[in-house]
Chain A
Amino acid sequence: MHIVVCVKQVPDTKVIKINPKTNTLDRRGVPAILNPHDAHAVQEAVKLKEKYGAKISVVSMGPPQATEVIKKSVQIGADAGYLISDRAFAGADTLATSYALFKALEKIGEDDPIDMIFCGKHAIDGDTGQVGPGIAQRLSIPPITNVIHVEAMGDGEVILRRKLEDGYERVKSTLPCLVTVEKEINEIAYAPLPNMINAAKYEPVIWGVNDLGDVDRTQLGLKGSPTVVGKMFAPPKPEGGNMIEGEPRKQVEELVSYLLEKKEYFQVGKGE
């Protein structure tokens, strides 16, 4: 079985700061990390490898330093990694990204046909979750998004649990298929020492646009992106700033008097 995981290098949004004067992103000192959802996708592939036997390849699109997230994936347990990196990919929105990754997946699958593709639910810097289903559509394989559990596999089929807003559904799919995973699907295990050693030595394959074979360049990068950012602005803030002063008892009394105007929202005795 050949499992391919799509991964992305993202800025660690936990430490991103905004310059309040200019409303621009302050990227200074912001570390680049393996998108956390993608780490769960790699981990799930490793779990399946342990159970059913598999080769795991990872693929990423990004600048040359994105080889770091491929090495990180090798630490988790991936066997091979490919980075597609070229100026021709720059400025891609989700549609153009899914096209570039689709071409890379076609190439990866040439020698070793792909049975399953894993992606994280979304990247924490873009938050769209659109690339995975886009790739599936281009490959004409079913996407199964928001997966929280891989129940069973065999005979060219897989049974998955897919998270819904109010529960989950059990879905059976033929292979190949593309799965996007929620983070509750697994816990990231500590990387075993041999993996750490492998990862330190591992040199991912880097492909430019010319390595991908027959590619329609009009579908790549900025040119292939139907969406553009029109403008950026500070999010509208709720009207704030009514500070209630005084002694605690008086403060509380005043607050309660405001809130009792809305008492239809309170359900006495039905809390939590």
Chain B
Amino acid sequence: MIEEHRGVWVFMEVKQGSIAGVSLELLGAGRTLADKLESPLGAVLLGYNAKELSNVCFEYGADEVYLIDDPILENYRTEPYMNGVSDLARKYKPEIFLYGATPNGKDIASAIATELNTGLTADCTMLDVDVEKRLLEASRPAFGGNIMATILCKKHRPQMATVRPKVMKALPPEEGRTGTIYEEFIKMKEEDIHTKVLEIVRDSKKTVNLEDADVIVCGGKGMGDPEGFQVIHELANTIGATVGGTRDVVEAGWLTHDYQIGQTGETVTPKIYFAIGLSGAIQHTVGMKNSEIIIAINKDKDAPIFDIATYGIVGDAHEIVPLLTQAFKEALSEKEVVSNG
């Protein structure tokens, strides 16, 4: 019975002993939904020695923590996690259940949706709720980001969605905030599990971290050639930004795939995004349009990038960008002098 289901749940992803950023963001988003529905907000926390993380869940907005703490949950594996979470959902019957759209979040959500025979909407970027009908309105980019589609799950519960990292906002943590812990046990033994994590290799070579960058300088094919692209690197160096590129640029071999921003590359949400020498094809803008401030520099005044740019300059990037680098050098070194007293 649909009516039996109450409460908004968020799956807590635990990484290297702490809760993933996207899970905290979802507690913020879940809090809004729960308040509208006048329901409690539950955090679903599985792991080994995970109990101590309950406080973090409460501080970031959860009213309840549904906990399973067991050595077989030390590393994420679909089978035991799916098993544990499905049991919790069958017993406590949440109405809405959110997961981060990370590799593990998507993996477990897909398995649980099948197990619970319910709907799952992938990679949402907007969430709302129709309070009267108690329907989650999960919106996601469709057709390569050209259009947004709102997906509903009318007759099955819980209503489930995975949500992209960095599109929702975490609440500021409220120190000392507490709630109720419901502790359960896993009904699976190590022998029942078909997979084993042999080793986790953290990629220390990965120097490009576009996802976390505050400032990104992205260049397009309009920079001409790899030499022309150098001005992008110089500007980025000067202001402490991360370099990015469009698919064209990566396919031309000016940058490696790690630097690609857009539909088939990274999705980024920096505070400041420089879009230089790129026209703003939808396949690119879908990956960067949530940036706080967008600056476009392009010689074609009709380039669609100007439609979404906070500030636009029509001009030759090879003239403008070096001037910009120089101006920043001067302005930022002044700042340094002042701050050094």
Within the complex, which residue of B122, B263, B328 is in contact with A256, where a contact is CB–CB below 8 Å? Answer: B328
The verdict on B295 contacting chain A, using a C-beta distance below 8 Å, is yes
The verdict on A209 contacting chain B, using a C-beta distance below 8 Å, is no
The verdict on B206 contacting chain A, using a C-beta distance below 8 Å, is yes
A interface: dominant SS: mixed
> Contact mask A241-272 → B, CB, 8 Å, 1/0?
11110001101110110111011011111111
Kindly state the separation between the CA atoms of A147 and B329 in the bound complex, as whole angstroms.
44
Kindly state the separation between the CA atoms of A233 and B139 in the bound complex, as whole angstroms.
10
The verdict on B336 contacting chain A, using a C-beta distance below 8 Å, is yes
How many inter-chain contacts with C-beta < 8 Å in the A-B complex? 278
The verdict on B55 contacting chain A, using a C-beta distance below 8 Å, is no
The verdict on B183 contacting chain A, using a C-beta distance below 8 Å, is no
| Contact, CB under 8 Å: A143 / B107 | yes
Identify the closest chain A residue to B307 (Cβ): A240
Kindly state the separation between the CA atoms of A232 and B137 in the bound complex, as whole angstroms.
12
* B-facing residues in A114-163 (Cβ within 8 Å): 124-134, 136-138, 141-146, 159, 162-163
| Contact, CB under 8 Å: A233 / B118 | no
Within the complex, which residue of A146, A173, A226, A249 is in contact with B118, where a contact is CB–CB below 8 Å? Answer: A226
Q: Which residues of A contact B155 (CB under 8 A)?
A: 226
* A-facing residues in B80-113 (Cβ within 8 Å): 82, 102-104, 106-107, 109-111, 113
Kindly state the separation between the CA atoms of A143 and B108 in the bound complex, as whole angstroms.
10
Within the complex, which residue of A174, A232, A233, A240 is in contact with B309, where a contact is CB–CB below 8 Å? Answer: A240
The verdict on A168 contacting chain B, using a C-beta distance below 8 Å, is yes
* A-facing residues in B293-341 (Cβ within 8 Å): 293-295, 306-315, 319-320, 323-324, 327-328, 331-333, 335-336
Within the complex, which residue of B82, B122, B295, B306 is in contact with A129, where a contact is CB–CB below 8 Å? Answer: B122
Kindly state the separation between the CA atoms of A168 and B103 in the bound complex, as whole angstroms.
11
Identify the closest chain B residue to A93 (Cβ): B119
Q: Which residues of B contact A236 (CB under 8 A)?
A: 148
Q: Which residues of A contact B114 (CB under 8 A)?
A: 95, 98, 133-134, 137-138
Chain B count of residues within 8 A CB distance of the other chain: 99
Given A227-B151, A233-B147; A248-B319 close (CB under 8 Å): yes
| Contact, CB under 8 Å: B323 / A248 | yes
Looking at the assembled complex, report how far the CB atom of A165 sits from the nearest CB atom of chain B, in whole angstroms: 6
Within the complex, which residue of B118, B147, B203, B295 is in contact with A255, where a contact is CB–CB below 8 Å? Answer: B295
The verdict on A14 contacting chain B, using a C-beta distance below 8 Å, is yes
Q: Which residues of B contact A227 (CB under 8 A)?
A: 119-121, 151-153
The verdict on A235 contacting chain B, using a C-beta distance below 8 Å, is yes
Looking at the assembled complex, report how far the CB atom of B29 sits from the nearest CB atom of chain A, in whole angstroms: 16
Given A134-B114, A265-B272; A142-B78 close (CB under 8 Å): yes
Kindly state the separation between the CA atoms of A265 and B292 in the bound complex, as whole angstroms.
12
* A-facing residues in B131-183 (Cβ within 8 Å): 137, 141-156
Looking at the assembled complex, report how far the CB atom of B134 sits from the nearest CB atom of chain A, in whole angstroms: 14
The verdict on B198 contacting chain A, using a C-beta distance below 8 Å, is yes
Within the complex, which residue of A127, A145, A229 is in contact with B151, where a contact is CB–CB below 8 Å? Answer: A229
| Contact, CB under 8 Å: B289 / A235 | yes
Q: Which residues of B contact A125 (CB under 8 A)?
A: 143
| Contact, CB under 8 Å: B152 / A230 | yes
| Contact, CB under 8 Å: B233 / A272 | yes
Q: Which residues of A contact B283 (CB under 8 A)?
A: 13-14
The verdict on B214 contacting chain A, using a C-beta distance below 8 Å, is yes
Given A18-B143, A166-B206, A256-B328; A262-B111 close (CB under 8 Å): no
Q: Which residues of A contact B237 (CB under 8 A)?
A: 271-272
Kindly state the separation between the CA atoms of A166 and B104 in the bound complex, as whole angstroms.
12
Within the complex, which residue of A168, A172, A253 is in contact with B203, where a contact is CB–CB below 8 Å? Answer: A168
Q: Which residues of B contact A129 (CB under 8 A)?
A: 106, 110, 122
Identify the closest chain A residue to B198 (Cβ): A170
Beyond A142-B193, A162-B103, A256-B331, 11 extra complex contacts between A and B, CB < 8 Å: A13-B144, A16-B144, A94-B120, A129-B106, A173-B195, A226-B154, A229-B149, A235-B286, A238-B310, A243-B306, A271-B236
Residue positions of B touching A, CB distance < 8 A: 75, 77-79, 82, 102-104, 106-107, 109-111, 113-115, 117-123, 137, 141-156, 193-203, 206-207, 211, 214-215, 233, 236-243, 257, 263, 271-272, 282-283, 286, 289-291, 293-295, 306-315, 319-320, 323-324, 327-328, 331-333, 335-336
| 6 tightest A-B CB contacts, nearest first | A267-B240, A226-B119, A271-B237, A133-B110, A128-B122, A227-B119
